[in-house]
Structure 1
Amino acid sequence: MAKLYVNEKKVQGHINPEIYGHFSEHLGRCIYEGLYVGEDSPIPNVKGMRTDVVEALKEMKVPVLRWPGGCFADEYHWKDGIGPKENRKKMINTHWGGVVEDNSFGTHEFFELCSQLGCKTYVNGNVGSGTVQEMSEWVEYITFDGVSPMADLRKENGHEKPWKIDYFGVGNENWGCGGNMTPEYYGNLYRRYQTYVRSYDNEKPIRKVCCGANVADYFWTEGVLNTCFAQPQPGNDKDRGFMDMLSLHYYVHPEGWEIKGSATEFDEKVWYKSLNKALYMEELINRHGAIMDKYDPEKRIGMAVDEWGCWFNVEPGTNPGFLYQQNTMRDALVAGLTLDIFNKHCDRVKMACLAQIVNVLQSVILTEGEKMLLTPTYHVFHMYRAHQDAELVESYIADNKTAEGSDGEYEVPKLHESVSIDKDGILTLTLNNLSVTDSEKVETTFAECNPTEVTATILTQDMNAHNTFEDPERVKEETFDNFTVTDRGLSFTIPPCSIVSFRIK
C-alpha cells in the first residue's frame, strides 16, 4: 500500500495557466482541416474556424496558443498572410511535406482563433531568414494603436483596433532548422532583434521568449545566457538578460530519433522505456534551471518548454511530412506525469506548449473531414485543467514501489502525483499509475483538511487503447467513485495504466 501525504498548508509555488499551453504550426493538417476550414466550408465554422474543434478546446481550457511554428516560423514572412486571400502569395512548405502553403491562415486568422478560444497569444518571429525590420513591423502591425504605416495597413485590411501579443518568440530552434547558429551568435542576434520587439502599450507589455536548448544541450544554455547577460543595460534588462523566458524542447521517442517506433503497436518494454524517457524531463528542468540560476537567482526568467510530447512514426499510408500519429494510453500517461513535473517545478517553468494541438504528433484532437475525436491526451488536459492558476502544495508518496516490469535502464516509479489548491480552497489531486499490470491501494492523508465534498474522474484502459473514428469513445474520462473518505484523507485503489483526478473540498 502506498501512502500519499499532502500538506495543503505549505504552498510551494504558483502554477501558471500557460503551463497547459498548446502549439499550432503550419504542418500537415494542424492548421488547415484541423483548426481552419475556411468560411465556405460545409463543415460548421465561425469565420473559418471549426466550431466543433473550438468548442472542445474551450472546454479543455486552452490558456495560450503558439503560432506559426516551429521550423515553419523561420521561413514565414508575415506580409504574405495578410490582405485579400486571393492576393496572398503561395509558397512551398519546405520543412513539412513540400506542399503548397496558400497563406489563407495568417495574422488576422490567428488572432480571430485566439479570440474564439479566449486564450493568450504566443507569436513566433522569424530570425532565421527574416530581418529586424520585418519583425519590428509585424509587432507594429499587430499592436500599435495610432498613426503609422503598419497600423494604417492593418486598418486597410479590416481591423481597426490592435490586438495584444502576450508572448513573442525571437526565433525558433536557431541551433538547428532556425539557422544552425552557435549559441554566442544567436545570443547576439537575440539582443539585437528583441530590441525592436517594442511594447507600444506599457499596460500590455510583450513578454519575450529567447530560443533555448534542444534536450540536454547545456552548452547552448550557458552560451546564450552568458552572451545575453554580458554588458547589461541599466534597469530591468540588467536582471533578466533582455528576456522574460528561455525555451526548451524535448520529445519522447523511445526507439531513438531515427526509428521512433509505432504509435500503437508496442510491448510493455517499450511502454516503460517511453515513460522513463518522459521522466527525463525533470532532469532537464533541473540541469538547465541550475544554469539559469547562475544568471537569474531570483527566477525572474521563466522556462518555457514550448515543444514537448511523444514523437512516433506516422500512421501507415499518410504523408511522412505531416507527422500524423495516433494517441494511446501511453500518450496519456506521458502527458499526466509530464504535467505533474511541470506543476512541481512551477517556480521555474512558467509556460509549456504540447506539440501539437490537432492532427500532428501528440495532439489532443484528430479530425477526418467533418468527423472529430478527442484523444486520450485531451482527456488528461481536461482532468488537469483545475491546476491552472492554482497554488502548488507539498505532496509526496511514501512506500512508492517500482513498477513491476520496469527495471534496469528504464525503471519507473509506480505512482506519480501533484496537488494544488485554488482560490476557493478546493484541492486538486492528480495521480498516475504507471504500471501496466498492477493496481495499487493508496491511503491519502492531509495536514488539516477533513474532506466534506469529493468528486473524481478516471482515465483507464489497456496500454495500446486509442480512439478511432469508428470507435471514438473507447478511451474517455469517466466518473470515479471507488474511494472512501477517512478522518483526514482518502482511501482508494488506483487501477493499472490509469490517471485519477480528485477535487476535494
Structure 2
Amino acid sequence: MKKQLLTAFIACFALAASAQKAVLSLDADRANIKINPNIYGMFSEHLGRGIYGGIWVPKDAKVEKQGRIRMDVVEALRKIQIPNLRWPGGCFADEYHWMDGIGDPAKRPKMVNTNWGGVTEDNSFGTNEFMQLCHLLHTQPYISGNMGSGTVQEMSNWVEYLNFDGASPMTKLRKEDGVDKPYGVQFFGIGNESWGCGGNMTPEFYVDQFRRYATFAKSYHDAPLKRIASGANSDDYHWTEVLMKGIPHNMMWGISLHYYTIPTGNWGKKGSATKFSEQEYFNTMKNCLHMEDLVTRHSAIMDKYDPQKKVALVVDEWGVWTDAEPGTNPSFLYQQNSMRDALIAATTLNIFNNHADRVRMANLAQTVNVLQSLILTKGDQMILTPTYYVFELYKKHQGAKLIPLHLISPAYTMGGKTIDAVNGSASIDSTGKMHISLVNLDAEKANPITIDLAHTKYVKVNGEILDAKAVTSVNTFEAPDNVKTTGFTDYKLSGDAGNQVLSVNLPAHSVVMLEVN
C-alpha cells in the first residue's frame, strides 16, 4: 500500500511540476491522531469592548439577555461549537484579583485596568458570571491565574473556590454566592506572558515560580487540574527549552505559545485592517505562515524532553493584529475583519490540524470587538466577521482523525519573495466522512488542485466556499452579508471506484471545505 501511494505521489508531483498545479495526496490509512477540539478555542480578555459592551451589556440594553449576558452573541458562538473560552486575560490576568469579582455586585470594589486604557472597571463581571457564560455557551472554561501580582494563596483559594466539594472556607464562600456545586474547571494557566506584562521574568525564575504556584493549585476529587505553563513569545526557543527541562512534566498539561501576525512586521505601525495593497497583503500572509516554523521548532524542543508527547503545545494567543480603527480608542484594539483575516484564520487552523500530535489547544485573540474578532457589536446590532465563517466551516474537523497529507503547491510570488499559494488539512470523522479544507492565498489567481483519492471508496462530494470580491472585503453593520459561506460546485470526481481523482478549481483568495463520502 505504501509503495502504491509513493508511486501515485511521484506521478502527481510530475503532473504538478509540468502544469504548475497544486496536487494533494492523502494517506487515509494512517489517520490515527485525533484533532483535539480545543484547537478551536476562543479568548476573551477584559480589554476594550470585549467583555463590557460586547458580552456583558448594560441592564437596559435593548437586546435579548440572560442577566446581562448578550444572547445573540451566545447563540452565534454556540453554532460554531467553541470548545473552550480563555479568561480573564491576557495581560489583565496578572493584575486581576478574583475575590474582588465575587459577592454582591453592588459591593464589589472597582479597579483600574492599567494594561488597556487605564479605564475603571466595576468588577460586575467576575468568576460566577464567566462560569454562567461558559454554561450558556456549552463550553469549557480556561482560566488564567494571577502569578504576576497575586500570591500563591490567592491562586490556591481560587482553585478551591472553583473545584472543591467539601467543607472549607472557599466552599462556604461559593455557596454564599449561590453556587452549591463546584464548577470542575480543568484548564488553568499559571501566569500569562511571564516574560513580559506578567512579570518580566527570566525563564529560569519563572520555572521556580511555576513549581511553587502549581504545587498549591490543587487537583480535587473529580476535578483534575490541567495546569498550563506560560510559554514562549514567538521564536524564544530558549524559553521553551528551560521550561521543558526544569518543570516536571506531571506538573503541567501544556506550555503556551503566543504569536501574532503583524501585517507590516512593525509593532509600532502595524498597518490598516481594511486599507492595504497586494504587496502588504502578501507580506501579511508570509508572516502568517511563520506559524508553521514556530510550531515545528518548539515541538522539536518539546520532543527532546517529552518524546511521548504528553505535554501539549497550547497556542493560546494567535491572530492578526492591526492598527485600531480610526476614531476608536487605540488601547481598545478594535479592528475590522476582512477576507484577508479569514485566510489567516483558515491557514493557521490548517497548520494546527497538521500538528495535532503536539498542538492540542489554541485560542483565537479575540472573540468579540477586539483584534481578530468573530463578532462585532454596535448598540443592539451584531455582525459576523469573515473569520467567524472559517470557524463555522472548520468545526467539522473537531474531534476527527487527522489524515496525513502531501501537498505540492504552486508559488505565489511578489516583490522577489515566494510563498506557497495553497495550503490545506484533512480529517475523517466518526461516520467515515472525509473533510478537506483548502486555502488559496493568491490574491488574484485561481489555482486548480488535483486530489488523489486512490484506494478509497468515496463516491460523493459536497462543497462550501468562503470568498469575496477582494481580500479587503468586510462585513459592515450596513451590509452584514458581504462575506459569507455559500455552496461550492467547481469540482469533478473522475476515475473508477477505488482509483478516483478529485479535481477542484480554487478561486483566488478563497477557503473551500469539501465533504467526501
Name 2:289's counterpart in structure 1: 279
Is the Cα–Cα contact under 8 Å of residues 163 and 223 in structure 2 kept in the other structure? no
2:232 is aligned to 213
Aligned residue in 2 for 1:446: 453
> Using the alignment, how far apart are the partners of 2:302 and 2:261 within structure 1?
24
Uncovered stretches (5+) of structure 2, i.e. residues with no partner = 1-20
Letter matched to residue 402 of structure 1:
A
2:253 is matched with which residue: 240, 244, 252? 244
Give the TM-score of the pair, scaled to structure 2. Answer: 0.93
The CA deviation at 1:490 is: 1.9
2:31 to 3, 7, 11: 11
* Equivalent runs, 1:291-330 vs 2, <5 Å: 291-330=301-340
1-structure distance, mates of 2:434, 2:288:
26
| In 2: Cα distance, 1:216 partner to 1:475 partner | 33
Instruction: Kindly provide the amino acid, as one letter, of the partner of residue 333 in structure 2.
Output: L
Structure 1: gaps spanning 5 or more residues: 230-239
Stretch of structure 1 that moved more, 453-462 or 314-323 = 453-462
Structure 1 residue 40: deviation in Å? 4.5
Kept after mapping to 2: 8 A contact 1:272/1:406: no
Residue by residue over 1:9-40, the C-alpha shift from the partner in whole angstroms, topping out at 9 and shown as x without a partner, is 22152100000101000000001111111555
- The 2-side partners of 1:287 and 1:3 are apart by 26
Give the aligned partner of residue 510 of structure 2.
498
Letter in 2 for 1:442: I
- Which of 61, 66, 78 is equivalent to 1:46? 66
Kept after mapping to 2: 8 A contact 1:9/1:447: no
Candidates 454, 457, 462, aligned match of 1:455: 462
SS in 2 for 1:219: helix
In structure 2, what is the Cα distance between the partners aligned to 1:169 and 1:394? 31
Normalising by structure 1, we get a TM-score of 0.95
TM-superposed deviation, 1:297? 1.2
Aligned to 1:235: none
Among 284, 289, 292, the alignment partner of 2:299 is 289
Q: Mean Cα displacement is larger for which, 10-19 or 110-119?
A: 10-19
* Separation in 2, partners of 1:20, 1:79: 30
Superposed CA offset, 1:350-386 (max 9, x none):
1000000000000110000110000010000111001
Preserved CA contact (<8 Å) 1:71 1:95: yes
1:165 and 2:185 are equivalent in the alignment: yes
| Alignment match, 2:346 | 336
Tell me the equivalent position of 2:168. 148
Q: Is the CA contact 2:97–2:150 (under 8 Å) kept in the aligned structure 1?
A: yes
Structure 1 residues 206 and 40 mapped into 2: Cα distance closer, same or farther (>3 Å)?
farther
1:306 Cα deviation after fit: 0.2
Q: How many residues align?
A: 491
Is the 1:40–1:48 Cα contact (8 Å) retained in structure 2? no
CA contact (8 A) 2:95 2:150 kept: yes
Measure, in 2, the Cα distance between the counterparts of 1:139 and 1:406: 52
Quote the Cα distance in structure 1 between the aligned partners of 2:289 and 2:449: 22
* Offset from partner CA, 1:434-468 (integer Å, 9 cap, x none): 10111012221213223333221101111100111
Which of 270, 278, 299 is the matching residue for 1:260? 270
Contact 1:7 1:394 in 2 (8 A): yes
**CA contact under 8 A between 1:170 and 1:210: conserved in structure 2?**
yes
Distance 2:83 2:153 in 1: 30
Alignment partner of 2:30: what SS? strand
Q: Secondary structure at the match of 1:412?
A: strand
Q: How does 1:105-124 map to 2 (within 5 A)?
A: 105-124=125-144
1:483 is matched with which residue? 491
1:36 equivalent to 2:46? Answer no
Match of 1:414 among 407, 418, 421: 421
8 Å CA contact 1:225, 1:241 repeated in 2 = no
Q: Determine whether 1:83 maps to 2:117.
A: no
Q: Tell me, what secondary structure is at the counterpart of 1:442?
A: strand
Instruction: State the 1:482 CA deviation.
Output: 2.0
Aligned partner of 1:433 among 440, 454, 458: 440
- 8 A contact 1:304–1:351 mirrored in 2: yes
Provide the secondary structure at the position in 2 that maps to 1:456.
strand
Letter in 1 for 2:126: G
Report the residue type matching 1:210 in the other structure: A
Distance 2:206 2:439 in 1: 39
**For 1:399-432, what per-residue CA distance to the aligned partner results, in whole angstroms no more than 9, with x for missing partners?**
x210143642xx2111101000011101110000
State the AA in 2 paired with 1:199.
Answer: S
Matched residues in 1 for 2:434 and 2:414: separation? Answer: 33
Of residues 444, 467, 487, the one that matches 2:475 is: 467
CA distance in 1, matches of 2:35, 2:511: 20
Seq. identity, %: 49
Aligned to 2:157: 137
- Judge conservation of contact 1:92–1:101 (CA < 8 Å) in 2: yes
Query: What do residues 203-230 of structure 1 show as CA deviations (whole Å, max 9, x unaligned)?
Result: 331111000000011121122222224x
What secondary structure, in the 3-state scheme, does the structure 1 residue paired with 2:403 have?
Answer: strand
Q: Name which of structure 1's ranges 74-83 and 203-212 shifts more when overlaid on structure 2.
A: 203-212
Q: Secondary structure at the match of 1:438?
A: coil
Give the whole-Å Cα distance in 1 for the aligned partners of 2:240 and 2:448: 42
Q: Secondary structure at the match of 2:259?
A: strand
Q: CA deviation at 1:311?
A: 0.4
User: Residue 9 of structure 1: SS of its match in structure 2?
Assistant: helix
1:349–1:84 Cα change, 3 Å? same
